[in-house]
Amino acid sequence: MEQEYQVALYTSDPVLSKSYYGSYDLDERAEVHDGGYARQPVTFALVRTGDGYMARNVKPVIFPEATAPWGMITHMALLVAGNRGFCTPLSAPIEVLAGETVEIPPGELALLIPQERCNCCNKEPSHSA
């Protein structure tokens, strides 16, 4: 099963608040917004695991060439609806200068999606009472 979302890059921690489902409301002011930057689509393949699903990008995610410096990129987010999504700090910040691009190779962007359970009986939601 495949699903398409968007990847966004940030120059500081964009988390405004955490939602009920574990996603975050993100501050668009922290997102790169100059120098030819644009959010990029990403398609994930979902594989069932014992704990839920593992999602990995199917194709490379390639951001356009920077026409001006983007600054120091410290965070990345997978956006599921507008400015709501899942955010993580980068293991090491990257400085993007004019003429450079950012590329995420296939399989490098991974997200573990836990299996939801019923709060009253701890079974998967598809069960009948």
Q: Is residue 120 part of a domain?
A: no
pLDDT at 85: 80
Q: Is residue 125 part of a domain?
A: no
pLDDT at 78: 86
- DSSP code at position 21: T
pLDDT at 117: 56
Q: Is residue 99 part of a domain?
A: yes
Q: Is residue 37 part of a domain?
A: yes
pLDDT at 65: 98
Structural domains in the chain (count): 1
Q: Is residue 77 part of a domain?
A: yes
d(CA 8, CA 76): 6
Q: Is residue 25 part of a domain?
A: yes
Q: What is the residue range of 72's domain?
A: 2-114
pLDDT at 26: 83
Other CB atoms closer than 10 Å to residue 127's CB: what's the count?
Answer: 9
Q: Is residue 92 part of a domain?
A: yes
Contacts 24+ apart (CB under 8 A), 51-54: 51/112, 51/114, 51/115, 52/112, 52/113, 52/114, 52/115, 52/116, 53/112, 53/113, 53/115, 54/110, 54/111, 54/112, 54/113
pLDDT tens digits in sequence order for the chain, 129 residues long: 556 789 999 999 888 776 655 667 788 889 999 899 999 999 888 888 887 888 889 999 999 999 999 999 999 988 876 777 888 889 999 999 999 999 999 999 887 777 665 555 655 544 333
Q: Is residue 123 part of a domain?
A: no
Please report how many Cα atoms fall inside a 13 Å half-sphere around the Cα of residue 28, on the Cβ side.
Answer: 9
